[in-house]
Structure 1
């Protein structure tokens, strides 16, 4: 049987707490480690604006050496490891008594001592420690002396008495099998009567108050959010506000109805004054359009003040208006960093309804926000490059839209901005479609309701056009094998080449965080102007001559016929960098294919005339294959008869 007792020294409790903390702290610490951004920083845009922006982001997120920014997670991890260090120190410095019963050690003899030596030594110890003969010292008690004498006697019998010695050898103790003593990993003070009130109060506070509150907060918080992480009220506003014909301005207006922006804000008179100045500048730049947008977004003065502030800061970013107040800049950054999730929520709502126009608008607005350009003004595309003003970009747009042409014109003028613009162009997100096709793995034709794979081969085009190398037959064969292997795999994206680090940070000097570019690929029906399949998002597209394959599987239409679909590839970071391609493809009729296959099979299966199968087919009246020489003989005989008849008619 086991004898359970509370761990008075607290040793088992220390082991328990150390194990519990380690299970929590190890994964939490790993997740708290800073990600390696050095590779992305060196492989990203190296223009002066982007380098300065990345440094500002690093300081804002991590602080400096003298004023580090402490996050709640970091503080919890630090306190946890401090507790682990304390518990480890306590465990290593606490002596644990776990001795094995050894009668030789108790008697003070060597294990090789014989029986005569044991008896002689025991007599000496008996005279020395017998309770009747011992004179008690100052700190000694008769009970301690008696216990010592009993211990010596028991050790002596363990070596001389046959039965007791057998118990010691079998069970490690002269009294035979002992109870197992196990310490419960709780200090004894927890169950002491004087601490009952405090212990019960702590249990009630933790399990009756704190734990239900945390679970309830988590439960009701999740119920209020959609799967996109957006508040349900925001999603409802998007659902009601967007229509099938909604454009990019309607998407911006829907952003103004975001419930996440309805939060109490502490504003100072200085901030309110600057905010009013920003609104006046926005109104001047938009020339009366601001009042209409503000009314549609329901952000009128005095009503939903926090949403009005967020709407003003959003447009100040799009118009690149400087914000001097650090508090307003922080608030603006928070608003901007919420927009990707909000736009993705709109995107999912539009995709679920198969609406093409608002889906494309939501995708394009990502790039306008990333580059801080007015929504929908494609003529300002060149203003994404450093040093190019909005007026200059608008003047260049009709005649010069391609990046390589723009760089060539700057080089001809010896413009001092050319080196910086070239640095940006090296990491520019212009996608080139190497190939796009709809295929069924292992089949030559696409049949109704087949599982079709949209196969994309894309790459980032270099800033300056280069002549493509001629493709050999061996290259084509290798590409076919590569394509076949990828179609047969379960991967949605082909593995990056060895040594390829992927796409680094994009050129986005006005965005308040490091941004990795990605692209949407979307299939739409040209006739109905509807989305055919949900869009996929691709990233880490290689640049140069190589390409990377992506695929998306879906079930094809149930009816045969010729289909005309359009493929859109839209960047979420670079304004105007989108491309489309029309795909014409045919779904074959299964009955026609079966008839053709049957005809081909019949042609192949006709037996020869002189074979056993051929003779049996002739007896049944079927068709057989004739030898070529026989058919030639028959044709020559017919010609002879014909020539004879002609000659006889001539003689007549």
Structure 2
């Protein structure tokens, strides 16, 4: 018999809580461990030069220590986990008091000792049946259920068959395939709690669950690929085209949907700080196309970063928020350019990402990437006899000939040496071929492979590239390369991919179908995701031949014989056809057998007709003879 079981409910509740508490405590302990004992390299808090020390300290401060554990989401989760853990402990205590799940025990139901005599059984049954009788407890379902259990228990102890079944199978009804009870607390049957139970049920089913589903759906439906909002993609499709230049991209980035709540001016001080920032950068940025407050504020903050100007304290967190999402948003810009087939704009977006990483702008010298270098040090380098415009040229000089470090300390000079080892020095090679092709010719329709090989000459064998050296970018950024294949003049993109391999030698295969017959010249662009002035551009020539010039393919005799052999499908099909033919033949034979009796009958009928006709002819002859005789007599 089914009954409401408090102990069963305890076990059920413990199991249910475990599904939340186990992963929740694991997440909490992991965050606590990462906050105090995680490796600095794992969070990117590595200072390879003293210029990176401030950035490393900020990363440690933001991702290690008690500050990490002060986040609102973490504290809410801890509060919920502690409350449920206390409930879990209470349930364990209740189970420890009486952890046996309810089973059918007639003595316990009748509240008597095991082995009680029949007199005690009858007395207990009489008292309990009077107490829980439905007539004395109208509308009380708990009392009704108790009365049924008491009646069943009394029957078990007084009826010989029921008693024998109970002693043998543990159930008065005999052997059962499954013995269960309802794992719900008994107070649900109490009529006094009926309104409360219904109210809680309605709140959960009609309020809480639909709200959670709606919240999840509404949040997740806003985001597309790379966790970028759909509104942002629409904005990029609207603002980016084949004529977009690098100087216009800060405003495009500022209009992203991710910043619309963050960058809305909050109060008078915020608006005043925006106006002051506009005054500082107005002469160095193009005229804005959009006057929306969100675009204006984001555009000004981004230009302040690119021009290495200090921002108001009220805007420091807003700028940091924009830089946090800048990498993903710029990647989304590039994907939109790929969709629009705008190769030059895609290259401009990649260069914009370089400028954002290094906190530089279009007219700045690449030498500003060197640690501790300012426009004054760059101007000192320009005064040298040898014209130096790139970091590669500066690295190629002898140490005693390098300008700009006259006022540097030994530590700062050491930083320059370390940086020149970190700064990429790459060699790019390309090879055009067709897989599994014996000759080097490319024919129309072939699957062509262009293998691009990037070799980092600044790394030793077995050494891997680390993070991009970017002291002014507040977040770690892994060194990667954008590989673009297309035609700049025609504005076409064949392939554009981001390769994050950190090995010394990196290979990337670009596959596409060979175009119609002719000679083609493709542009191969290799662009860094974080450094300025290391990009390379190569020409890839390819001649496509007419596929009609291919030699005739001759089938080997053995292969030809194999082609003649029927396949398994054909064998099955033939077998099916033969079976159908046999069925048709049998049907024809049956029809012949059926027609045979009809032919015999027709023959008999024809013979009978001829016999009748013969008799008639004989009668006619007799009539003629009689007529002749009569005529003769006359």
TM-score of the pair, normalised by structure 1: 0.66
Q: What is the aligned-residue RMSD (CA, Å)?
A: 4.5
User: Are the equivalent residues in 2 in contact too, given 1:568–1:579 (CA < 8 A)?
Assistant: yes
| Structure-2 change in CA distance of 1:308 and 1:173 (3 Å) | closer
| Structure-2 change in CA distance of 1:217 and 1:78 (3 Å) | closer
Aligned equivalent of 1:83: 84
Which of 207, 210, 228 is equivalent to 1:209?
207
In the alignment, does 2:347 pair up with 1:360? yes
Q: For 1:567 and 1:420, how far apart are their aligned partners in 2?
A: 34
Q: For 1:342 and 1:540, how far apart are their aligned partners in 2?
A: 21
Which of 491, 513, 517 is equivalent to 2:479?
517
In the alignment, does 2:497 pair up with 1:536? yes
SS in structure 2 of the partner of residue 576 of structure 1: coil
Q: For 2:70 and 2:454, how far apart are their aligned partners in 1?
A: 41
Aligned equivalent of 1:567: 524
Aligned equivalent of 1:51: 53
SS in structure 1 of the partner of residue 514 of structure 2: coil
Residue ranges of structure 1 left out of the alignment (5+ in a row): 103-121, 135-139, 145-150, 469-496, 602-652
Which of 239, 242, 245 is equivalent to 1:247?
245
- The CA deviation at 1:5 is 2.5
User: Are the equivalent residues in 2 in contact too, given 1:460–1:541 (CA < 8 A)?
Assistant: no
SS in structure 2 of the partner of residue 18 of structure 1: helix
Aligned equivalent of 2:420: 425
Listed as ranges, the matches of 1:11-90 within 5 Å are 11-21=10-20, 25=24, 34=34, 38-40=40-42, 46-62=48-64, 64-65=65-66, 68-73=69-74, 75-76=76-77, 79-80=80-81, 83-84=84-85, 86-87=87-88, 90=91
User: Are the equivalent residues in 1 in contact too, given 2:4–2:183 (CA < 8 A)?
Assistant: no
- The CA deviation at 1:239 is 2.3
Q: Show CA shifts across 1:425-478 (max 9, x none).
A: 332234332x32233322234332233333222232318xx9x9xxxxxxxxxx
In the alignment, does 2:370 pair up with 1:370? no
Q: Show CA shifts across 1:288-340 (max 9, x none).
A: xx4x432x2x13xxxx3233222211111111112351x31101111222323
User: Are the equivalent residues in 1 in contact too, given 2:251–2:298 (CA < 8 A)?
Assistant: no
Q: For 2:317 and 2:187, how far apart are their aligned partners in 1?
A: 50
Q: For 1:421 and 1:97, how far apart are their aligned partners in 2?
A: 74
TM-score of the pair, normalised by structure 2: 0.68
Q: Show CA shifts across 1:185-234 (max 9, x none).
A: 33233453333333333333333233333433444445544435444444
- The CA deviation at 1:399 is 1.8
User: Are the equivalent residues in 1 in contact too, given 2:5–2:102 (CA < 8 A)?
Assistant: no
Listed as ranges, the matches of 1:146-295 within 5 Å are 170-171=168-169, 176-177=174-175, 181-263=179-261, 265=264, 267=266, 269-284=268-283, 286=284, 290=285, 292-294=286-288
Listed as ranges, the matches of 1:402-421 within 5 Å are 402-403=390-391, 405-407=393-395, 408=397, 410-412=399-401, 415-416=408-409, 417-421=412-416
| Structure-2 change in CA distance of 1:243 and 1:42 (3 Å) | closer
Q: How many residues align?
A: 511
In the alignment, does 2:536 pair up with 1:579? yes
Q: For 1:343 and 1:5, how far apart are their aligned partners in 2?
A: 60
Aligned equivalent of 1:456: 452
| Structure-2 change in CA distance of 1:5 and 1:93 (3 Å) | closer
Q: For 1:196 and 1:454, how far apart are their aligned partners in 2?
A: 74
User: Are the equivalent residues in 2 in contact too, given 1:45–1:507 (CA < 8 A)?
Assistant: no
SS in structure 2 of the partner of residue 587 of structure 1: strand
Q: For 2:450 and 2:165, how far apart are their aligned partners in 1?
A: 80
In the alignment, does 2:365 pair up with 1:380? yes
- The CA deviation at 1:45 is 5.2
SS in structure 2 of the partner of residue 184 of structure 1: coil
| Structure-2 change in CA distance of 1:357 and 1:412 (3 Å) | same
| Structure-2 change in CA distance of 1:386 and 1:21 (3 Å) | same
User: Are the equivalent residues in 2 in contact too, given 1:563–1:586 (CA < 8 A)?
Assistant: yes
- The CA deviation at 1:548 is 2.8
SS in structure 2 of the partner of residue 436 of structure 1: strand
Q: Show CA shifts across 1:373-411 (max 9, x none).
A: 11x23x521101211113433664792245354244554
Aligned equivalent of 2:549: 592
| Structure-2 change in CA distance of 1:101 and 1:239 (3 Å) | closer
User: Are the equivalent residues in 2 in contact too, given 1:527–1:564 (CA < 8 A)?
Assistant: no
SS in structure 1 of the partner of residue 252 of structure 2: helix
SS in structure 1 of the partner of residue 241 of structure 2: coil
Does 1 or 2 have the higher relative contact order (CA < 8 Å, sep 6+)? 1
SS in structure 1 of the partner of residue 242 of structure 2: coil
SS in structure 2 of the partner of residue 238 of structure 1: helix
Aligned equivalent of 1:485: none
Q: For 1:569 and 1:232, how far apart are their aligned partners in 2?
A: 29
Q: For 1:449 and 1:29, how far apart are their aligned partners in 2?
A: 56
| Structure-2 change in CA distance of 1:518 and 1:76 (3 Å) | same
SS in structure 2 of the partner of residue 442 of structure 1: coil
Aligned equivalent of 2:430: 436
User: Are the equivalent residues in 1 in contact too, given 2:479–2:502 (CA < 8 A)?
Assistant: no
User: Are the equivalent residues in 2 in contact too, given 1:275–1:309 (CA < 8 A)?
Assistant: yes
> Rg bigger for which structure?
2
Q: For 1:460 and 1:336, how far apart are their aligned partners in 2?
A: 28
User: Are the equivalent residues in 2 in contact too, given 1:261–1:306 (CA < 8 A)?
Assistant: yes
Q: For 1:238 and 1:556, how far apart are their aligned partners in 2?
A: 29
Counting helix residues as a fraction of each chain, which structure ranks higher?
Answer: 2
- The CA deviation at 1:562 is 2.5
User: Are the equivalent residues in 2 in contact too, given 1:566–1:582 (CA < 8 A)?
Assistant: yes
Q: For 1:437 and 1:30, how far apart are their aligned partners in 2?
A: 51
Q: For 1:551 and 1:576, how far apart are their aligned partners in 2?
A: 24
